[in-house]
Chain A
């Protein structure tokens, strides 16, 4: 499935636009004032923006990805580590106190999003499914961690914020679970390749990996 140049251009513009909008002092201040705004709005939006940029660049990077990112293994590794880093409460705190961390956040999370966009279409359904399942249960665990923490995990935020973050994360987990269940349950009938030809076919048809 060839993507038209216009679509790619639109995606690139939207991705860049979101990042710029998030960098504005106004939105930065507003979003980073609360834990929910920081972790559940700003960070996911950065990843989403990266996803859009990555999708826009997919065709240009096709040859590089073919060599360096087969089945999306390298991209997933990158995204997992970046996300792990930002799941650590200390990183969230430090992003507010130190500009270096803040820059790393604004660069790293979009890159993680781009890595996901460049990896999901080329992976096999088994890996994609396992990652999604683990992501959902990881979110549930995080929701519990923030809700059950006996102490404030972030010095820069109120304890009540932390509870809200826990509840919000639980909602995120449910939303992702439902969203990812809808495809396999009701998705349009589409002939699916077996695992062997899966990677090849998935490359031709992004979004082919559905489980």
Chain B
């Protein structure tokens, strides 16, 4: 503990840029892991397309690693962005970010060990009672290590939100101030918080709740593994798991979008201010994110009707507020000002529109009649690949490009132009082929496909390859520039 207090004291002395190294490291680690997991994704698509022979057991291990890993990457890069920009407005403690990173990496190690040593292949959603019923594929211990890994990752983000929440409260008094509720209710607020703070406060509230629920259901699942007679009501477990999972994955993009609010003004020269509409949108989203998850349960006919109705209505509505406010404001910015284009701004703008486009298939899927047919098809991966690849990760790469930008405007020269283009085309292709597969009623989570589906599997693999090339270019540029800066 003596060391901790020493760390703590030193970090406040840094003040303006707490844990900048850790943020850069997180983004780099996220990028590297992304490439590896994209390669795993490519393998899955090749296997489904009949171009690569793979045992189904291995397929499901890879699918579990791909899912858990991508959620982790999205969360880590989102957290890096939120931390970096929040530090401009409030005083954060670097030690907590390092602590978060350590807990996170410990969790990752456990998850990977559970999958590739313990052969756990129950998907990242660990849906009860699958972890406990492997049919002999994996031991109870492997499932337990996987769940413990997720718990460790959850703890990492709990610490992250506690510290960011503490710092916001220290600066703005309480979270309702930070959510700009006085502005929202009265039309004016002394010391109104900037968009980065509003967004952070909203994420802290809903993801804090999500993590507490997630920790509970993880602990319950762990106990059930070793005391199977303590059964869980499967419907309750599913509700808790999807509540946690959906809130958690939603949070990633709501953290990443902070990069847009903070960076784009540097390109347009006009500050992005918190307006009444902006505050209303974020408060609405804070509540909606909590209520939207039932669209994952529309096929559970035992769910009460009102819950499903809420799920449909809120899913419809949830996509709208922030997207409208963000995408619309961005459009206004873009048309009215001489926006400078470079890799960072191009990726950030892409992120906003990728996000907007990615929400559309989700809204379609949230319609009960469609959901009954579509939810177990590739349509759903289509939605979240769009949302995460062209939305969240585009924003993350935009942030990374901005972090390593040159002092002089450089436009979009050679390699980065082609890298960006490959990422955009490949990524969109990956998402769209999933959507086409969904429209063809190709089921999701099937290791083996029939030849009629090979065409779209192979097209998907092709686009995946392109997007991987693009990612490697973007990541290579980031790492090379970091190395160059370190040398200088």
State yes or no: do A and B touch (Cβ within 8 Å): yes
B137 within 8 Å of A by Cβ? no
Residues of A within 8 A of B72 (CB): none
B147 to chain A, nearest CB (A): 13
- With A125-B162, A133-B208 already in contact, the answer to whether A185 and B176 are too (CB < 8 A) is yes
Q: Are A126 and B163 in contact (CB under 8 A)?
A: yes
Residues of B within 8 A of A149 (CB): 230
B12 within 8 Å of A by Cβ? yes
B378 within 8 Å of A by Cβ? no
A-facing mask of B1-30, CB < 8 A → 1, else 0?
100010011011000000000000000000
Q: Are B170 and A192 in contact (CB under 8 A)?
A: yes
Residue of B with least CB distance to A199: B5
Q: Are B212 and A177 in contact (CB under 8 A)?
A: yes
- With A129-B166, A195-B12 already in contact, the answer to whether A141 and B212 are too (CB < 8 A) is no
- Tell me the bound Cα distance from A3 to B415 in angstroms: 67
B165 within 8 Å of A by Cβ? yes
A187 within 8 Å of B by Cβ? yes
Q: Are B167 and A194 in contact (CB under 8 A)?
A: yes
Segment 143-182 of B: residues with Cβ below 8 Å from A: 155, 158-159, 162-163, 165-167, 169-177
Picked from A125, A133, A141, A183, the residue with its CB within 8 Å of the CB of B219 is A141
A7 within 8 Å of B by Cβ? no
Q: Are B166 and A141 in contact (CB under 8 A)?
A: no
Segment 183-211 of A: residues with Cβ below 8 Å from B: 183-197, 210-211
Q: Are A125 and B166 in contact (CB under 8 A)?
A: yes
Residues of B within 8 A of A183 (CB): 174
Give the one of A148, A149, A190, A210 with max B CB within 10 A.
A148
B96 within 8 Å of A by Cβ? yes
Picked from A151, A188, A195, A197, the residue with its CB within 8 Å of the CB of B173 is A188
B39 within 8 Å of A by Cβ? no
B229 within 8 Å of A by Cβ? yes
Question: How many A residues touch B, CB cutoff 8 Å?
Answer: 38
Q: Are B229 and A185 in contact (CB under 8 A)?
A: no
Q: Are A130 and B166 in contact (CB under 8 A)?
A: no
A61 to chain B, nearest CB (A): 20
Picked from B171, B173, B205, B215, the residue with its CB within 8 Å of the CB of A187 is B173
- Tell me the bound Cα distance from A171 to B12 in angstroms: 40
B433 within 8 Å of A by Cβ? no
- Tell me the bound Cα distance from A99 to B14 in angstroms: 57
Counting contact residues on chain B (CB < 8 A from A), the size range is: 35 or more
A-facing mask of B165-202, CB < 8 A → 1, else 0?
11101111111110000000000000000000000000
A134 within 8 Å of B by Cβ? yes
- With A70-B1, A133-B158, A188-B173 already in contact, the answer to whether A195 and B220 are too (CB < 8 A) is no
- Tell me the bound Cα distance from A196 to B233 in angstroms: 45
- With A73-B1, A130-B158, A145-B230 already in contact, the answer to whether A195 and B174 are too (CB < 8 A) is no
- Tell me the bound Cα distance from A136 to B209 in angstroms: 10
A40 within 8 Å of B by Cβ? no
- With A184-B174, A193-B170, A195-B8 already in contact, the answer to whether A137 and B216 are too (CB < 8 A) is yes
Picked from B162, B174, B215, the residue with its CB within 8 Å of the CB of A126 is B162
- With A71-B1, A184-B169, A211-B162 already in contact, the answer to whether A194 and B12 are too (CB < 8 A) is yes
Segment 120-178 of A: residues with Cβ below 8 Å from B: 125-126, 129-130, 133-134, 136-138, 140-141, 144-145, 148-151, 177
- Tell me the bound Cα distance from A125 to B92 in angstroms: 13
Q: Are A192 and B169 in contact (CB under 8 A)?
A: yes
B223 within 8 Å of A by Cβ? yes
Residues of B within 8 A of A126 (CB): 93, 96, 159, 162-163, 166
Q: Are A211 and B231 in contact (CB under 8 A)?
A: no
Q: Are B163 and A195 in contact (CB under 8 A)?
A: yes
- Tell me the bound Cα distance from A136 to B208 in angstroms: 12
- Tell me the bound Cα distance from A185 to B205 in angstroms: 9
B232 within 8 Å of A by Cβ? yes
Residues of A within 8 A of B212 (CB): 133, 136-137, 140, 177
Residues of A within 8 A of B12 (CB): 194-197
B-facing mask of A36-80, CB < 8 A → 1, else 0?
000000000000000000000000000000000011010000000
B424 to chain A, nearest CB (A): 39
Q: Are B165 and A133 in contact (CB under 8 A)?
A: no
- With A126-B162, A133-B215, A184-B165 already in contact, the answer to whether A194 and B170 are too (CB < 8 A) is yes
Give the one of A144, A151, A186, A191 with max B CB within 10 A.
A144
Q: Are B1 and A195 in contact (CB under 8 A)?
A: no
Picked from B167, B174, B216, B231, the residue with its CB within 8 Å of the CB of A150 is B231
B91 within 8 Å of A by Cβ? yes
- Tell me the bound Cα distance from A144 to B227 in angstroms: 13
- Tell me the bound Cα distance from A150 to B174 in angstroms: 44
A196 to chain B, nearest CB (A): 5
Q: Are A150 and B229 in contact (CB under 8 A)?
A: yes
Residues of A within 8 A of B5 (CB): 196
- Tell me the bound Cα distance from A187 to B177 in angstroms: 10
Q: Are B169 and A187 in contact (CB under 8 A)?
A: yes
A-facing mask of B263-297, CB < 8 A → 1, else 0?
00000000000000000000000000000000000
A82 to chain B, nearest CB (A): 20
B427 to chain A, nearest CB (A): 36
Q: Are A196 and B174 in contact (CB under 8 A)?
A: no
B-facing mask of A86-130, CB < 8 A → 1, else 0?
000000000000000000000000000000000000000110011
- With A136-B212, A141-B219, A141-B220 already in contact, the answer to whether A187 and B174 are too (CB < 8 A) is yes
Residues of A within 8 A of B176 (CB): 185-186
B89 to chain A, nearest CB (A): 14
- Tell me the bound Cα distance from A140 to B155 in angstroms: 17
- On A, residues with C-beta under 8 Å from B are 70-71, 73, 125-126, 129-130, 133-134, 136-138, 140-141, 144-145, 148-151, 177, 183-197, 210-211
- Additional A-B contact list (11), CB under 8 Å, known A129-B158, A150-B231, A187-B174: A141-B223, A185-B175, A188-B173, A189-B173, A190-B173, A192-B171, A194-B12, A195-B95, A196-B8, A196-B11, A210-B169
A selection of 10 A-B contacts at a CB cut-off of 8 Å is A125-B162, A138-B219, A150-B229, A185-B174, A186-B174, A186-B176, A191-B170, A192-B171, A195-B166, A196-B11
Q: Top 3 closest A-B pairs, CB basis?
A: A189-B173, A192-B170, A129-B162
